[in-house]
Structure 1
Amino acid sequence: MQRGSWAPKHCTPRWHVAIIIPYRDRAAHLNVFLKNIIPFLQKQLLKFTIFLMEQTDGVAFNRGALLNAGFAESRRIISNIDCFVFHDVDLIPEDLSNLYACASKVRSLVTGRRHRRYTQYGGYMGGATSFIPQLFEDINGYSNKFYGWGGEDDNARHRVKKSGLKMMKVPWEIGRFTMLQHADDSGNPHVKNMKVLGSDVLPEVDGLHTTNYEVKSISYRDHFIRILVDIPGPDT
């Protein structure tokens, strides 16, 4: 078995799941996440590979571009992945019934977070979301235009709707997560003024197939594959 991957030996899993994690400067969170998510996925008897998509310093964090790059690079490394879960490093699932698998619809795995008393998120598409490859391509992935915190998940929800697709959420009592504590992220000062349905962030003109990134290094660890990428700034 390739480093970074795991599969049960006594059965044939329905899915080979890629866990795509957008990441920068969260080593403590990564350690906690891996200690929790690996046994969680093993108990679900999934074949899985974890891809840590780490952005270099110098440019504001771009979650959407990292997820797009993770989709493209993971498929280049492993050709037979048939389910993708795009997952933040600071979220820990609480219920083993929350199956990390895919369906014919986009699946939002998060219904609430403990620190917010599990408040339900009606149209939320952030945190942890699963796609089969074709659905991700149908919406042209995430927008690459949102630097700093916020915006790309709202835009993704509109992409799903615009493409005529449906989003399903796991039951509220199952989709509960613990969020690891951290200082507030550096937000995008322009996000409130950016239009998540603006002409420059629609899937026809911006997304997976226009993602600009450079792979700086790929390293295979025992529990994940680390891909360090450079994302150009918004004016590049």
Structure 2
Amino acid sequence: MVRRCTRFTYVVVFLMVCAALVSVTNIGQLSVFLRTKLHDVYGSDTGLYSTRFKLRGNLSLEYCQAVPDSLVGRLNIDIDAALQSAPPLEHQDVSPGGVWSPKSCVARQWIAIIIPFRDRQKHLDILVYNLVPVLKRQKVSFRYGNKTFNKGRLMNIGFTEAQKHDEFDCFIFHDVDLIPEDDRNMYTCSDNPRHMSPALDKFNYTMLYKGLVGGVLSFRGKHFTKVNGYSNLFWGWGAEDDDMHKRLFAAKLSVERPSITIGRYKMIKHDRKDVSPVRLDLLKTSIARYLKDGLNTLEYKLVETRLEKLYTRIIANVGDPPKNQTEHPL
């Protein structure tokens, strides 16, 4: 008899994006130089601000443009193309594990993109199909990786595991069902946490409410640590992002956004499953709870790390939800 245990074993996709634009096949073997440089202000639409970045790579090369000439602006997103056609040319030079790096310049940030998902491999395939060309035009080299629900706990795992690979400047937490519609929305970090997805096609490209930070959210590591990461208590769908907004408020961190003409995303249609029955009750305790529920209470068991063609899949066991979800330890 084969025992099915898919309920409690989870998969996180983290996509580690490094912006050290040198020719490499394995980021872990990259010999790099470090230095700090003050860059210029480019404006809120792109999310690039005056900030200090650690630069990595062959410093005999020129630094990459903050806003590359290769950007095309508004994109025509074909949701079905990833599943119906051969991989585009942009994917052919990606090494196993999802590693790629251009040769022409030294980039400004080392980035990790963390994509949690559960039972939605199709959505991951569509996202990777569409996102890889965007990242290449933005001149960021990258490595992909994988995980799932409890979503908040998986975000924390992605952050923790990514730091084992390198010292990243920027962490981007990315829903698997959101496809960027404009490559001027730079996948980089600015001086404050940045909500990159204020405008979704599902909601006619309007932001639903002022405190929205769900979808795609970028953090510097020090800021993610300051808010103690995401809550570990939200099992099932809903409210972990609203909890994060309260953490940001409590930690006195401002949230920046691109304009709604650039911060546009197409949402892949899907059904909501396992809606959390206690999400609204938990939100009432967010501010009082955030320093004792998050990165500092994270528990998980790393099950497997596997190199796929376009990403690194990391499987972790995050434990079982409480039998009575109205009762929590905090």
TM over 0.5: yes
SS in 2 for 1:157: helix
5+ residue gaps, structure 1? 56-60
1:235 Cα deviation after fit: 2.5
Cross-structure match for 1:156 = 244
Does the alignment pair 1:196 with 2:283?
yes
- Which of 83, 91, 94 pairs up with 2:181? 94
Match of 2:116 in 1: 22
Alpha-carbon separation, structure 2, partners of 1:201 and 1:28: 38
Q: Deviations over 1:26-46 (max 9, x none)?
A: 011111111001111111001
Give the CA deviation at 1:219: 0.6
Specify the alignment match of 1:140 in structure 2. Answer: 228
Query: 1:200 deviation in Å?
Result: 8.9
SS in 1 for 2:144: strand
Q: What displacement does 1:97 show?
A: 0.7
Q: What is the alpha-carbon distance in structure 2 between the residues aligned to residue 115 and residue 68 of structure 1?
A: 28
Deviations 1:196-236 (A, max 9, x none): 24169722110012111111100112211111011112338
8 Å CA contact 2:247–2:286 kept in 1: the answer is no
Residue correspondences, number? 228
Moved more, 42-51 or 150-159: 42-51
Give the Cα separation in 2 of the matches to 1:34 and 1:13: 21
Pick from 62, 75, 85: which aligns with 2:163? Answer: 75
Structure 2 letter corresponding to 1:191: R
Identity %: 36
Contact 2:230/2:240 (<8 A) preserved: yes
What amino acid does structure 2 have at the position aligned with 1:24? Answer: R
Per the alignment, residue 35 of structure 1 pairs with 129
- Aligned-residue offset at 1:48: 2.4
User: Could you tell me which residue of structure 1 aligns to residue 40 of structure 2?
Assistant: none
1:58 maps to none
For 1:199 and 1:108, locate their aligned partners in 2 and report how far apart those are by CA, in whole Å. 19
Would you say 1:6 and 2:100 are equivalent positions? yes
Aligned to 1:65: 153
Q: 1:5 & 1:16 partners in 2: Cα distance? A: 13
The corresponding residue for 1:180 is 268
Cα distance in 2 between the residues matched to 1:50 and 1:161: 31
Change (3 A) 1:109 1:233: same
Matched, 1:209 2:296: yes
Residues 235 and 276 in structure 2, CA contact (< 8 A), matched pair in contact too: yes
The CA distance in 1 between the partners of 2:314 and 2:136, in whole Å, is: 23
Q: Does 1:170 align with 2:275?
A: no
- Residues 99-131 of structure 1: per-residue CA shift (max 9 Å, x gap): 010011000001111122112142211110001
Residue 184 (structure 1) shift = 2.4
| CA offset digits 1:156-186 (Å, max 9, x no partner) | 1111110111111111111110000112222
Moved over 3 A (4+): none
Range 180-189 or range 95-104, more displaced: 180-189
CA-atom RMSD in angstroms: 1.6
One-letter code aligned to 1:21: I
Q: Does 1:107 align with 2:194?
A: yes
Cα deviation, residue 69, structure 1: 0.3
Q: TM-score, normalised by structure 1?
A: 0.91
CA distance in structure 2 between the partners assigned to 1:145 and 1:175 by the alignment = 29
Within the alignment, does 1:48 sit opposite 2:142 as a pair?
A: yes
| Matched-pair contact (CA < 8 Å) for 1:17–1:49 | no
**1: CA distance between counterparts of 2:181 and 2:300?**
34
Would you say the 8 A contact 2:243–2:286 is kept in 1? no
Structure number, greater radius of gyration: 2
Q: Secondary structure at the match of 1:156?
A: helix
